[in-house]
């Protein structure tokens, strides 16, 4: 497939035409190209999500690699890292190769499997980290996400192991005993609502321990879904000391607060929980100053019955791929804290760099992989279930006015979204395999 994108605005504000042929950017218009009019659209490098739950194998009623890939593409993503809490767990070479192959088969996005740190996510012994790293999937990111690697010795051993091949451990920082039965952020509001609290210190204490372990080992640590102002302080301190730590924040923690728990609407139940206004402001500032490196969605689809119940029985989690760019726009671009170059950094270049995903370091350069998202910043919409493309409808934004819209997504040179709608699965798969 060859594509000619006319009049696009690059993140730095310059206007240009972009030409795509045989999967890469080329310097002149290919003949017979599909033309995309990008007048008024921002061209971002293809978005990369370091934290997606695709649910396959094992939980296909919630999501599959195909449906999650479609949700990603409509959100402007060209690559996602798939968390390990599948069934069977992604803790062997066989399972990670299966997930990677499904991604390649469908072709909407690059799917990079994340390996479990501990066998079966049980927190008792290390998984087959070396075998996953050496497998065809070449896993470089390891995480027990959903569970904290709370055993300090196991965490140390995992960091030592991934250091040997330059990998990274992505920690879900949640001290388990401090959060037993937790239902929402701990504070005055949890007392008022009579819900068991999830204290900030349960996150901050694990991050503090882990940055010290990472420093001691000399290995790379990544902190998933940072949610409190205190965590930001710990990470800032660690970075100042030269610790190899990176951190992510979710779109929802940049926009929403614990006040939404008042209605006991389980769409707002998530782990870590929505926090206070002052936490949200600290997270935005940390993303702007680089203390927090990236935005990652923690896209967590659930079947309706898991969310359509009383707050204390409902599953944690929100879908996020389809809305991520609009939410980042609303939370930190509209306020002027981030510009489009910053968005390109936190949603594409840096997540690729942390995950050691090639092809994202020189966006739009001639000869580099053609991954691009065309975004209309002037659009706005009342977000609705019709805007979702995965299986999950557990979005906290339904009925909310959100800015912007993804108009086109190009993954490795072939279009996955055109005119704001998914290209059909058969055509995407065919073009992914035959160029």
Which amino acids are annotated catalytic?
298
Does residue 172 belong to the site contacting Zn ion (CB under 5 A)? yes
**Maximum C-alpha span of the chain:** 66
The distance of closest approach from Cβ of residue 143 to Zn ion in the complex, given in angstroms and rounded to an integer, is 8
The distance of closest approach from Cβ of residue 172 to Zn ion in the complex, given in angstroms and rounded to an integer, is 4
Q: Which of 305, 117, 276, 109 is nearest to 190 (CA)?
A: 276
Residue 408 pairs in a beta bridge with 374
The piece of 165-173, 210-218, 240-248, 313-321 that touches Zn ion (CB under 5 A) is 165-173
The distance of closest approach from Cβ of residue 83 to Zn ion in the complex, given in angstroms and rounded to an integer, is 8
Q: Which is nearer to Zn ion, 145 or 322 (CB)?
A: 145
The distance of closest approach from Cβ of residue 176 to Zn ion in the complex, given in angstroms and rounded to an integer, is 13
Q: Which is nearer to Zn ion, 44 or 206 (CB)?
A: 206
Give the residue closest to Zn ion by C-beta. 172
**Degrees, nearest 5: CA angle 316-228-392:** 25
187-190 contacts at long range (C-beta below 8 A, 24 or more positions apart): 187/258, 187/276, 189/258, 189/259, 189/261, 189/262, 190/258
* C-alpha to C-alpha distance for 160 and 173, rounded to whole angstroms: 19
Does residue 293 belong to the site contacting Zn ion (CB under 5 A)? no
A 10 A CB-CB count for 152 gives 13
Q: Which is nearer to Zn ion, 172 or 391 (CB)?
A: 172
For CA atoms 141, 146, 151, 154, give the dihedral sign.
negative
Give kind and range of the element (H or E) at residue 382: strand 372-382
Q: Count Cα neighbours of 333 within 13 Å in the Cβ-side half-sphere.
A: 24
Q: Which is nearer to Zn ion, 327 or 422 (CB)?
A: 327
Burial of 242 (0-12, 13-18, 19+ CB in 10 A): exposed
The piece of 37-45, 170-178, 232-240, 354-362 that touches Zn ion (CB under 5 A) is 170-178
Preceding amide of 393 cis, omega within 30: no
The distance of closest approach from Cβ of residue 258 to Zn ion in the complex, given in angstroms and rounded to an integer, is 18
Q: Which is nearer to Zn ion, 43 or 223 (CB)?
A: 223
Does residue 63 belong to the site contacting Zn ion (CB under 5 A)? no
Q: Which is nearer to Zn ion, 122 or 188 (CB)?
A: 122
Q: Which is nearer to Zn ion, 145 or 431 (CB)?
A: 145
Phi and psi at residue 3, in whole multiples of 5°? -135, 140
Q: Are 394 and 302 in contact (CB under 8 A)?
A: yes
How many residues belong to the site for Zn ion (CB under 5 A)? 2
Angle between helical axes of 277-289 and 229-240 (0-180°, round to 10): 30
The distance of closest approach from Cβ of residue 211 to Zn ion in the complex, given in angstroms and rounded to an integer, is 18
Give kind and range of the element (H or E) at residue 315: none
The piece of 20-28, 150-158, 168-176, 354-362 that touches Zn ion (CB under 5 A) is 168-176
Q: In the stretch 124-163, what mask flags binding to Zn ion with x, by CB under 5 A?
A: ---------------------x------------------
* C-alpha to C-alpha distance for 366 and 363, rounded to whole angstroms: 9
Give the list of residues 6+ apart from residue 57 with CB closer than 8 angstroms, or none. Answer: 86, 87, 88, 95, 98, 99
The distance of closest approach from Cβ of residue 288 to Zn ion in the complex, given in angstroms and rounded to an integer, is 23
End-to-end CA distance of the chain: give it in Å, rounded. Answer: 6
Q: Are 91 and 116 in contact (CB under 8 A)?
A: yes
The distance of closest approach from Cβ of residue 298 to Zn ion in the complex, given in angstroms and rounded to an integer, is 6
Per CB under 5 A, residues contacting Zn ion are 145, 172
């Amino acid at each position: 497939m060859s594509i000619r994108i006319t009049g696009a605005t690059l993140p730095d504000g310059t206007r240009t035409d972009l030409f795509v042929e045989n999967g890469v950017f080329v310097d002149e218009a290919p003949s017979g190209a599909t033309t995309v009019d990008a007048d008024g659209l921002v061209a971002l490098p293809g978005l990369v999500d370091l934290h997606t739950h695709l649910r396959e194998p094992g939980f296909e009623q919630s999501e599959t690699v195909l449906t999650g890939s479609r949700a990603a593409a409509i959100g402007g993503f060209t690559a996602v890292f798939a968390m390990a809490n599948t069934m069977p767990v992604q803790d062997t070479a066989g399972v990670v190769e299966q997930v990677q192959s499904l991604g390649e088969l469908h072709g909407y996005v690059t799917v990079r499997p994340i390996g479990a740190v501990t066998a079966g996510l049980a927190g008792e012994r290390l998984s087959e980290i070396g075998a996953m790293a050496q497998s065809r999937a070449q896993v470089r990111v390891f995480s027990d996400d959903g569970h904290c690697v709370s055993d300090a010795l196991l965490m140390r051993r995992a960091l030592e192991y991934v250091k040997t091949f330059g990998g990274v451990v992505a920690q879900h920082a949640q001290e388990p005993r401090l959060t037993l039965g937790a239902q929402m952020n701990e504070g005055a509001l949890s007392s008022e609502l009579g819900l068991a609290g999830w204290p900030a210190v349960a996150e901050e204490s694990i991050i503090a321990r882990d940055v010290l372990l990472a420093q001691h080992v000399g290995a790379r640590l990544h902190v998933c879904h940072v949610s409190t102002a205190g965590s930001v302080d710990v990470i800032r301190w660690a970075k100042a000391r030269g610790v190899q730590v990176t951190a992510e924040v979710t779109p929802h923690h940049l926009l929403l607060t614990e006040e939404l728990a008042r209605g006991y609407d389980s769409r707002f139940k998530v782990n870590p929980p929505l926090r206070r206004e002052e936490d949200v402001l600290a997270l935005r500032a940390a993303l702007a100053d680089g203390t927090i490196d990236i935005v990652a969605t923690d896209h967590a689809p659930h079947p309706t019955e898991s969310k359509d119940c009383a707050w204390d029985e409902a599953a944690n989690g929100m879908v996020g791929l389809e809305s991520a760019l609009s939410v980042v726009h609303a939370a930190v671009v509209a306020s002027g804290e981030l510009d489009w170059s910053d968005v390109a950094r936190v949603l594409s270049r840096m997540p690729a760099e942390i995950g050691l995903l090639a092809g994202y370091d020189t966006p739009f350069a001639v000869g580099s992989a053609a991954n691009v998202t065309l975004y209309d910043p002037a659009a706005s919409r009342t977000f609705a279930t019709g805007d979702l493309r995965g299986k999950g409808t557990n979005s906290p934004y339904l009925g909310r006015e959100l800015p912007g819209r993804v108009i086109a997504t190009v993954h490795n040179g072939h279009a996955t979204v055109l005119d704001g709608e998914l290209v059909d699965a058969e055509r995407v798969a065919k073009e992914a395999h035959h160029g």
